[in-house]
Amino acid sequence: MSPVSTAFAAAAAEGRAALVGYLPAGFPDKRTAIKAALAMADAGADVIEIGLPYSDPLIDGPVIADAVYHALRNGTKIADVLDTVQAIADAGTAALVMTYWNPVDHYGVDNFARDLASAGGAGLITPDLTPEEAGPWLAAADKYQLDRVFLVAPSSTAQRIAEITAVCRGFVYAASLMGITGTRDAVSSSASGLVTRTREHTGLPVAVGLGVSNRTQAAEVAAFADGVIVGSAFVRGLAQAPDPDGAIAAVRTLAADLAAGVRRS
């Protein structure tokens, strides 16, 4: 089993959903990003997604897009992303890279898979890669035993869900709504139905992302999904903190609150 599969299985054995947290590498700086990710894991996150900063973040809302912009201005490179992944993996937490496809393609698919595996990374989440165009990545993921996480959406038909889940490994990312990332006042009404429809085509865990920002929402999603994915709320905590120590503390506090939420369900 991969580290991600192991984390989801351990959460299921405890009768709860897994908590998956997201942070972009290099924001507000490389050192603080690594410390914040480790604090997130220490406070209860089961899996951590590390965002690879990209100049055209199509599905990211203003909070993450602004953080990514600053990470790029700070000079964050793929090597920094891999260093962040390695720090998390070395601490014993499953680490995935969330990335648009262009940087991987430019780096070289096999090279990226090799270096990610060498850093202890569990795999990739690729929001803009379709199964039809994923051949090189699927082959590289098999070669280096990496998970490949694709997204399903409320608009996905049964046939499309079947095609997407067939190439997933680790878990399936269910985007709870159509649109960009960001916190919401309420969980999308389509989320539960999407999880149910996705489970008709796969035995993999189904984790819901987009919109969760607090313990109550985490508990609501954990009642019907195998995993709860939180990104913008963590990044906002980093961005609003007055200094690096405050940023790390904000992430730790939110992670503990969300971890209590997935356990409460």
Alpha helices in the chain (DSSP H): 3-13, 30-42, 62-73, 78-90, 101-107, 109-118, 135-144, 158-166, 191-199, 215-222, 232-240, 244-264
Say which of 49, 80, 115, 226 is annotated catalytic.
Answer: 49
Say which of 46, 60, 115, 220 is annotated catalytic.
Answer: 60
Amino acid type, 97: V
Q: Is 105 among the catalytic positions? A: no
Q: Is 49 among the catalytic positions? A: yes
The two tokens of residue 110 are 């096999």
* Order of all β-strands in the sheet with 94-98: 147-149, 123-125, 94-98, 47-51, 18-24, 227-230, 206-209, 172-175, 151-152
Active site members: 49, 60
